[in-house]
Structure 1
Amino acid sequence: MAFTLYDEVIGSVIPVAVYWIYSGIFVILGDKLDNYRLHSKAEEDAKNIVSKWTVVKGVLIQQAIQIVVSVLILALTKDGSGVPKPNPPMYIIALQFLVGAFVLDTWQYFMHRYLHINKFLYKHLHSTHHMLVVPYAYGTLYNHPLEGLLMDTIGGILAFLVSGMTESVGVFFFSFVTIKAVDVHTGVWWPYNIFHFFSPNTSAYHDVHHQLYGTKFNYAQPFFISWDKIMGTYMPFSLEKRKEGGYTVRPIKD
């Protein structure tokens, strides 16, 4: 089978670079975000039970696994000529994005929920991610490596294969998915965030899930909240402005 390994590696590395660039913006902005935070920096330091250096190492391990698996999948799905497939018309690409988003959302909802329901898997896998009670941007992919493989990498592979994306379209799709996933974990509420115009799955929505009262709710990520509403795991919330700056997420319980 003829293929250019360089192309597969570059295609797999681009979403990783996007992850660190986008999350790095929130690090650079630092204190300028205080009026938009869902939790204060003091609360972030007090509640999170894992160091930021440990988070960085954990994310890099998951991304290394992700790159290896992505390279293999891209190589195996390329035809024997080694010539990249031409991209389809834009309306087909838009449809592929929608199909990919649906497949990824569906896989992640049910896998995520099962990781909470199964006490063994929660204790040994998913509890790693919940060490970040107060999420922040570059902690988005801080998971147990096996969870990262099961939920993120396999979910991404299914979205890619089912939607029928070409390699180059897939790179754009997963870069977009990366930005959206990071945005959900920023712990920052931008009043005019462009993602809010088409996706109700926001940083505030996901913050509910990271709090003790919400760990059995708001599983959906990274795009829509349909499965939470269909499956009865949706918890609405309100946002209240704090006097000292930022917002507080308040659950609305029946």
Structure 2
Amino acid sequence: MAFAVASDEVLGTFVPVAVYWIYSGIYALLGDLDEYRLHNKAEEDTKNVVSKSTVVKGVLVQQAFQIAVSLSLFSVVSDDNGTKVQPSLLTLAIQFMAAMFVLDTWQYFIHRYMHINKSLYKHIHSKHHTLVVPYAYGALYNHPLEGLLLDTLGGALSFVVSGMTPRTGIFFFCFATIKTVDDHCGLWLPGNLLHMFFSNNSAYHDVHHQLYGTKFNFSQPFFVTWDKILGTYMPYSLEKRKEGGFEVRPIKVKS
């Protein structure tokens, strides 16, 4: 089918991509605030083994796949008779929660399996872990196959299962994008509302990116439920560093 220039389907496909770069760009500017960093700049330069230009190119490739799959999905599920009537606020809230649960569940088990399976980790998921010190616009730096399985198909599944309309999908995928970028921003900013409402946050995910935490804290992007249920939850503390910023310290490393 042909999409209208400003249809909900088109907006739901391209607006989250724009949000990704705008929101991560803001965090890139804030990266100079050393007093809020989880790792100092020296650690970022020495521990990360991939250049930032390579990261940008990798993210753009994944987003190209994301756009193609999204438009294909909407061509199948879109209502040819016009824009669907938006449901009540209660229904919207239920759909949001259902989509969050589906996306969290999908990503937890796929993500964890990519660590368990040595071949998948070596050839696919290890690309994301080349960013030992995460930063915002590297949130979607993955192998294209991982991006397709983890993010694109996970998003499509959450959209279909929740029954949300394309218009609701615009808001859900923008929110999921903001949350994913925030979890990789490498900063602990005061007054961050996402940190207030979600215990799955930049410090929680930073644990997973460290050598001691690669078998823990798989949950993303919203809750920590599956980690706690299945014993892969690693608590941590945030300690102020003398030179500025914070250090994430595991409270208990499980065997």
Q: Is this contact kept in 2: 1:218–1:235, CA < 8 A?
A: yes
CA–CA separation in structure 2 for the residues paired with 1:2 and 1:69: 15
CA–CA separation in structure 2 for the residues paired with 1:204 and 1:30: 15
2:28 is aligned with 1:27: yes
2:124 is aligned with 1:125: yes
Q: 2:118 is aligned with what amino acid?
A: K
| Aligned-partner SS, 2:31 | helix
2:6 is aligned with 1:11: no
| Aligned-partner SS, 2:237 | strand
Deviations 1:79-120 (A, max 9, x none): 232x01011111111111100000000000000000000001
| Aligned-partner SS, 1:190 | coil
Q: Is this contact kept in 2: 1:3–1:78, CA < 8 A?
A: no
2:188 is aligned with 1:189: yes
CA–CA separation in structure 2 for the residues paired with 1:189 and 1:50: 23
Q: Is this contact kept in 2: 1:35–1:246, CA < 8 A?
A: yes
The residue that corresponds to 1:51 in the other structure is 51
Q: 1:230 is aligned with what amino acid?
A: I
The residue that corresponds to 1:66 in the other structure is 66
Q: Is this contact kept in 2: 1:103–1:158, CA < 8 A?
A: yes
Q: 1:151 is aligned with what amino acid?
A: L
The residue that corresponds to 1:84 in the other structure is 83
CA–CA separation in structure 1 for the residues paired with 2:251 and 2:98: 32
Deviations 1:119-159 (A, max 9, x none): 01001100000000000000000000000000000100010
How many residue pairs get matched? 252
Q: Is this contact kept in 2: 1:15–1:171, CA < 8 A?
A: yes
The residue that corresponds to 2:172 in the other structure is 173
Structure 1 residues without counterparts, runs of 5 or longer: none
Structure 1 residues 45-54 or 188-197, which shifts more?
Answer: 188-197
Q: Is this contact kept in 2: 1:9–1:67, CA < 8 A?
A: no
Q: Is this contact kept in 1: 2:12–2:173, CA < 8 A?
A: no
Shift of 1:191: 3.1
CA–CA separation in structure 1 for the residues paired with 2:175 and 2:114: 25
Alignment of 1:174-253 (within 5 A): 174-253=173-252
Shift of 1:2: 6.7
CA-atom RMSD, angstroms?
Answer: 1.2
CA–CA separation in structure 2 for the residues paired with 1:44 and 1:114: 27
| Aligned-partner SS, 1:87 | coil
Q: Is this contact kept in 1: 2:106–2:154, CA < 8 A?
A: yes
Shift of 1:60: 0.2
Deviations 1:2-23 (A, max 9, x none): 7537523332010000000000
| Aligned-partner SS, 1:4 | coil
CA–CA separation in structure 1 for the residues paired with 2:201 and 2:79: 39
| Aligned-partner SS, 1:178 | helix
2:154 is aligned with 1:158: no
Q: 2:226 is aligned with what amino acid?
A: W
Structure 2 residues without counterparts, runs of 5 or longer: none
Structure 1 residues 108-117 or 184-193, which shifts more?
Answer: 184-193
Deviations 1:54-85 (A, max 9, x none): 0000000000110111011112101232x010
| Aligned-partner SS, 1:250 | strand
CA–CA separation in structure 2 for the residues paired with 1:5 and 1:65: 20
Q: Is this contact kept in 2: 1:137–1:185, CA < 8 A?
A: yes
Q: 2:245 is aligned with what amino acid?
A: G
Q: Is this contact kept in 2: 1:5–1:75, CA < 8 A?
A: no
Q: Is this contact kept in 2: 1:47–1:133, CA < 8 A?
A: yes
| Aligned-partner SS, 1:106 | helix
Structure 1 residues 25 and 3: alpha-carbon distance in aligned structure 2, compared to 1, 3 A threshold = closer
Instruction: State the TM-score, normalizing by the size of structure 2.
Output: 0.96
The residue that corresponds to 1:93 in the other structure is 92
| Aligned-partner SS, 1:69 | helix
CA–CA separation in structure 2 for the residues paired with 1:206 and 1:30: 17
